[in-house]
Structure 1
Amino acid sequence: MQKLDILYLTDLYYKAQGRNYYEEDLYITSQLKDHFNVLIGHPQQAIDHIDKADLIVFRNTGPVVYYQEYFDQFVNSVKVKNTPTFNSFDGKADMKGKQYLLDLYAQNYSVIPTVEKIEDLDRLPKSDQYIIKLKNGADSIGMQSVSKEEIANENLDGKIIQPYIDFEYELSFYFINNEFQYALYAPDKHKRWELMPYEPQSLELDFASKFIEWNNMKCGIQRVDACKLKDGSLLLVELEDLNPYLSIDLLSEDKKHFFIDNFVKALTALKA
């Protein structure tokens, strides 16, 4: 059987605190090459190479806000050419900015309380400190922490407001399509990228799965980031549905093989 040709998009030179993008993608492509013909490409040089691929894998490409116009052209090009992509570009979460946090909070989902107008602060729990994020931001770009007194003087155009949440720790759930793969957590909330394996309870998996079901993507890898409160409940921090970092180096060999096997099956199914 002839191998499928994959255009695997990644920015091997992107620098992110606590994460080595290039190591993760070099490992993944080293595993995929046994099943596919893999061409590694830069996300800002992808359009000219679409015709060389049976399918495109969009991985650790950095925040697309840095090259939004090119990314929009790329998405349009793959749609016109009907080239399968993984992830599919039909997500409703971080792929489209932070509007989903406003929407989900308004619909009473278990998310960090979020508003975008100063006059809506009374919809948030009382707090002496607020977190302001760019509505179309990613990777903590433009994030600010301001006091209750300072927030009235902030320009909030294109931003969202959240109260400071005193949580126990952060944890992340990783999915391929709608299937749970593994979970990691940061025992020290001040060192959010020092992660360890985590065995979630069934109620925690139910929590994460609800957001995967809500997003209803055709295909892709998604990461549900949550924080655990002192009372044991969970709140959604973000749903990364475009190019989530996987921290795959922290997994046991068995978990790595499990993930890669399911990744191969999911990619193969796109052209079945």
Structure 2
Amino acid sequence: MSAAAPPRVLYVTDLAYEAKGRRYCDEDILFSSRLRRDFTVATCHPADAARLMGAFDGVVVRNSGPVIHYRERYDAFRERALADGVRVYNPLNGRGDMAGKQYLVELSAAGLPVIPTVDRAEDLGRLPDADEYVVKPKDGADSIGMRFVPREGLAGLTGLGDSLVQPRIPFLYEVSFYFVDHDFQYALHAPDPERRWELVPYEARAVDLDFAAKFIDWNTLDHGIQRVDACRAPDGELLLVELEDLNPYLSLGLLDETTRDAFIARTVVSLRELLSS
């Protein structure tokens, strides 16, 4: 008797997307080639996913670039995938960046350890005093549309619409925690705030993992890859910058072989569980 055919996976990525200091295509060439050991994999651009996904057992969304660049096609993909019951990895019920950055306002209002965030002019007084403030679109990514406003310009911010406002914090460094499902995998950090794409391994302490796990638990994803981005405030406290649950860049090329292999193996288990659910 012949063995069952491996599950068919549509791997969604934009191999031509350019990001500062990073080559997304290298990561996806590596990751998709490793997935081919366990799945039948075809690669496509995010703009083509909606019309191709029906021929596959599931869709893996990886380095597909900021949704803001192809909003209509992404919305069509989501609508059709949800209507047809397509298994998407990550699942489309995430509450983090997948749904826009409104969650930062909600988490801030709830008193969780996030950078203080508001989205209404009448709430600007709730923000702590700072020399500068950051205004960013709720559906932005990779600093697209972000601008800085001095303290004296804060009162002039009216009609924020789909934008967020945060104090610009003089953080010590940024650190990212990477999870598959609810299991921590590894952490990387940028020691120099001015060179935030130059990442090195970070030895996460128990208190760091407790911090990151709060946001993983808050999210609704039973399966998937998530990245918790945080900054170390001057007082030593970690504050959430973003919860990336759509297509987090993984920096696999910076990992040692053992860590990288363990991460991919854990992802294979997670993806198999999703496809068989």
TM-score, normalization by structure 1: 0.97
Does 2:36 align with 1:33? Answer: yes
State, as a whole percentage, how many aligned pairs show the same letter: 49
Does 2:88 align with 1:53? Answer: no
Give the whole-Å Cα distance in 2 for the aligned partners of 1:145 and 1:271.
Answer: 44
The DSSP-based 3-state class of the residue aligned with 1:46 is: helix
Q: What residue in structure 1 maps to residue 134 of structure 2?
A: 131
Give, in angstroms, the shift of residue 112 of structure 1: 0.1
The DSSP-based 3-state class of the residue aligned with 2:176 is: strand
Aligned length: 272
Q: What residue in structure 2 maps to residue 12 of structure 1?
A: 15
Residues 61, 243 of structure 1: 8 Å contact kept: yes
Give the whole-Å Cα distance in 1 for the aligned partners of 2:212 and 2:234.
Answer: 18
Residues 182, 222 of structure 2: 8 Å contact kept: no
Does 2:239 align with 1:235? Answer: yes
Q: What residue in structure 1 maps to residue 216 of structure 2?
A: 212
Pick aligned residue for 2:175 from 167, 171, 180: 171
Give, in angstroms, the shift of residue 165 of structure 1: 0.6
Give the whole-Å Cα distance in 2 for the aligned partners of 1:231 and 1:154.
Answer: 28
The CA deviation string for residues 15-51 of structure 1, in whole angstroms up to 9 with x for no partner, is 1111111000000011111111110011101122112
Give the whole-Å Cα distance in 2 for the aligned partners of 1:236 and 1:228.
Answer: 9
Query: 1:89-128 residue pairs with structure 2 within 5 A?
Result: 89-128=92-131
Pick aligned residue for 1:157 from 145, 155, 161: 161
Residues 223, 241 of structure 1: 8 Å contact kept: yes
Give, in angstroms, the shift of residue 150 of structure 1: 2.3
Give the whole-Å Cα distance in 1 for the aligned partners of 2:120 and 2:53.
Answer: 41
Q: What residue in structure 2 maps to residue 186 of structure 1?
A: 190
Does 2:104 align with 1:80? Answer: no
Pick aligned residue for 2:46 from 24, 43, 49: 43
Query: 1:248-267 residue pairs with structure 2 within 5 A?
Result: 248-267=252-271
TM-score, normalization by structure 2: 0.95
Q: What residue in structure 2 maps to residue 145 of structure 1?
A: 148
Q: What residue in structure 1 maps to residue 204 of structure 2?
A: 200
Give the whole-Å Cα distance in 2 for the aligned partners of 1:47 and 1:240.
Answer: 22
Aligned Cα RMSD in Å? 1.2
The DSSP-based 3-state class of the residue aligned with 2:192 is: coil
The DSSP-based 3-state class of the residue aligned with 2:94 is: coil
Q: Return 5+ residue gaps in structure 1 as ranges.
A: none
Give the whole-Å Cα distance in 2 for the aligned partners of 1:238 and 1:271.
Answer: 28
Give the residue type in structure 1 aligned to 2:51: D
The CA deviation string for residues 108-150 of structure 1, in whole angstroms up to 9 with x for no partner, is 0000001123332221111121111112211111111110122
Residues 90, 218 of structure 1: 8 Å contact kept: no
The DSSP-based 3-state class of the residue aligned with 1:204 is: helix
Give the whole-Å Cα distance in 2 for the aligned partners of 1:15 and 1:147.
Answer: 30
Pick aligned residue for 2:74 from 49, 71, 74: 71
Residues 132, 145 of structure 1: 8 Å contact kept: yes
Query: Which range moved further: 249-258 or 142-151?
Result: 142-151
Give the residue type in structure 2 aligned to 1:205: L
Give the whole-Å Cα distance in 2 for the aligned partners of 1:109 and 1:72.
Answer: 30
Give, in angstroms, the shift of residue 154 of structure 1: 4.1
Give, in angstroms, the shift of residue 176 of structure 1: 0.8
The CA deviation string for residues 172-208 of structure 1, in whole angstroms up to 9 with x for no partner, is 0001111111100000011111000111000100100
Give the whole-Å Cα distance in 1 for the aligned partners of 2:76 and 2:178.
Answer: 28
Give the whole-Å Cα distance in 1 for the aligned partners of 2:275 and 2:103.
Answer: 31
Residues 172, 193 of structure 2: 8 Å contact kept: yes
Give the residue type in structure 2 aligned to 1:96: A
Give the residue type in structure 1 aligned to 2:162: G
